[in-house]
Amino acid sequence: MPFLGTTGGGSVKQYGGQANLGYFIKNSVRLRQSASAYFNRTPASATNRRTWTWSGWVKIGKAATTGLFTASTSSSNAYTIQLGSDGSFNVYAYSGGYPYFRLTSAVFRDYSAWYHFVVAFDTTQATDTNRIKIYVNGVLQTTTSGSGSGWPTLNYDGGVNNTINHQFSDNVGGASYFDGYLGEINFIDGQALTPSSFGKTDGATGQWIPKKFAGTYGTNGFYLKFADASAATAAAIGKDSSPNGNNWTPSGISVTAGATYDAMIDSPTLSAVASNYATLNPLTRPVGGGGAFTVGQGNLQTAMSYIGPDSTIAMSSGKWYWEVIPTGGTTSYNSRIGIVPSNHGTYTGTSVGDGSGTYGYEASSGQKGSGGTYASYGSSYTDADVIGVALDMDNGKLWFSKNGVWNASGDPAAGTNAAYTSITGEYFASVGTGGTGGGFTCHFNFGQRPFSYTPPSGFKSLNTYNLP
């Protein structure tokens, strides 16, 4: 079961902010495939190549064959932990053939959830099936072999802990760079551990939750918290918080304010400091009138024609604020930012502002629209403008701002001069265009990185801790 995942249909709503999980993960890092982002390190000395444990919390972005952790000298000599394009999790080696290759029988495709993956590698085990163990959210996984190979041989020396390049996110062995989030990475040199060293089951919720690792790391072991966003360097965002000081060098990681800022507070815990934040749901299905969309950059960026993706968290009560930064397509095709009802996938004409029950703010005209009816409202907007959205589902009101100024003298904190009132039901943040002939691109921020402007008083970021 994924941690803080969906209730079905893509909406997260059953977990409120009342749970006290004890140990909190405060930070994560976003790796953007479009930036070929990765962290790398080459050990100064070879240590135990037969026994080690890798533990990491992962929030998946794009569905693709992506490398999570690799030790390699080239694409033909690689030892890799991967996510498969089908959603499987696997461990394989390629060195003139496949010494071993294990894939999980289960697949992991919840893009709203944090997963805890653990790989225990120990080729000193007499029983071959004990030499690679894969755990997901505390559960030992059933695995199958791939590419005609099976288990590593007794006392097989792999590439991990050798003096070769080690990397988080890679494109070797037919993989692409990882797109998504990593948090709380522990690597233990010389021990094959179980998930109980890194997590536990919460007695109240039944969820698998993080636990601080209290053991020893071994010479090449490390602990990455991604907590220091002062610089995109090995000594800051790539700092090893174990006693070893085995820092990792980042590439394609940004800690400069803006849409590409990668030091996140998206986390697999529930706290006021960090929690599981909304992203864009790549499984939203375009219907009626055609069109399509893509998502990327940790599912916070989208490019669409007609119908865009929905947020992974739905809003039926509470007061919420998020920001959208357009980066293209604002001058044509009636590009709009807004909200859509949870049932919009069941009928046609669902683009933001056009479909019944949808509400949008149009770029080129500055008009507001709902159900295909449009009216004068506010300023037009273009690429790089920051559009703020304030949605008060307790009172059924919606406002839009441009670069920190609320249109039509609106005041969400006071509840006055809303763009729309009497909104009821369950809604997702969304985006769309008025036709299928062009593309609208934009970046969303639900609060997992710093907002460009201060949210109105009483309005919250869209994450699982803040859910009523």
The answer to whether residues 216 and 165 belong to one domain is yes
Q: Of 212, 246, 264, which one is at a domain's C-terminal end? A: 264
pLDDT over 50 (residue 190): yes
Q: Predicted confidence band at 6 (pLDDT cuts at 50, 70, 90)?
A: very low
The answer to whether residues 329 and 187 belong to one domain is no
Least confident of 86-95, 376-385, 445-454: 86-95
CATH number of 350's domain: 2.60.120.920
Q: Predicted confidence band at 274 (pLDDT cuts at 50, 70, 90)?
A: very high
The pLDDT assigned to 149 comes to 77
Nearest alpha carbon to residue 266 among 71, 95, 58: 58
Does the residue 273 lie in any domain? no
Report whether 310 contacts 278 (CB < 8 A).
Answer: no
The answer to whether residues 89 and 199 belong to one domain is yes
The answer to whether residues 98 and 209 belong to one domain is yes
Euclidean distance between CA atoms 8 and 3, whole angstroms: 14
Buried b (16+ CB within 10 A) or exposed e, 239-256: bbebebebbbbbebbbbe
Nearest alpha carbon to residue 210 among 267, 262, 145, 259: 267
The answer to whether residues 441 and 363 belong to one domain is yes
The pLDDT assigned to 413 comes to 98
The pLDDT assigned to 230 comes to 98
Does the residue 109 lie in any domain? yes
Does the residue 243 lie in any domain? yes
pLDDT over 80 (residue 321): yes
The pLDDT assigned to 132 comes to 96
pLDDT over 70 (residue 285): no
The answer to whether residues 248 and 333 belong to one domain is no
Report whether 61 contacts 107 (CB < 8 A).
Answer: no
The answer to whether residues 242 and 297 belong to one domain is no
The answer to whether residues 296 and 419 belong to one domain is yes
> What is the total count of domains within the chain?
2
Work out the mean pLDDT of the chain and round it to a whole number. 90
Q: Predicted confidence band at 123 (pLDDT cuts at 50, 70, 90)?
A: very high
pLDDT over 60 (residue 299): yes
The answer to whether residues 251 and 345 belong to one domain is no
The pLDDT assigned to 261 comes to 98
Does the residue 281 lie in any domain? no
Burial class (CB in 10 A: 0-12, 13-18, 19+), 211: middle
pLDDT over 90 (residue 94): no
Does the residue 435 lie in any domain? yes
Structural domain for 381, as ranges: 292-445
Does the residue 277 lie in any domain? no
Does the residue 126 lie in any domain? yes
pLDDT over 50 (residue 438): yes
Report whether 453 contacts 323 (CB < 8 A).
Answer: yes
CATH number of 194's domain: 2.60.120.200
Euclidean distance between CA atoms 106 and 405, whole angstroms: 48
The residue ranges of DSSP E strands in 316-365, in sequence order, are: 319-328, 336-341, 359-362
The answer to whether residues 250 and 301 belong to one domain is no
DSSP, res 310 = P
The answer to whether residues 236 and 327 belong to one domain is no
Q: Predicted confidence band at 106 (pLDDT cuts at 50, 70, 90)?
A: very high
Q: Predicted confidence band at 296 (pLDDT cuts at 50, 70, 90)?
A: very high
Residues 340-367 pLDDT 10s: 998 775 555 567 898 889 999 999 999 9
The answer to whether residues 249 and 334 belong to one domain is no
Burial class (CB in 10 A: 0-12, 13-18, 19+), 406: buried
Does the residue 11 lie in any domain? no
pLDDT over 60 (residue 287): no
Euclidean distance between CA atoms 458 and 390, whole angstroms: 10
Q: Predicted confidence band at 251 (pLDDT cuts at 50, 70, 90)?
A: very high
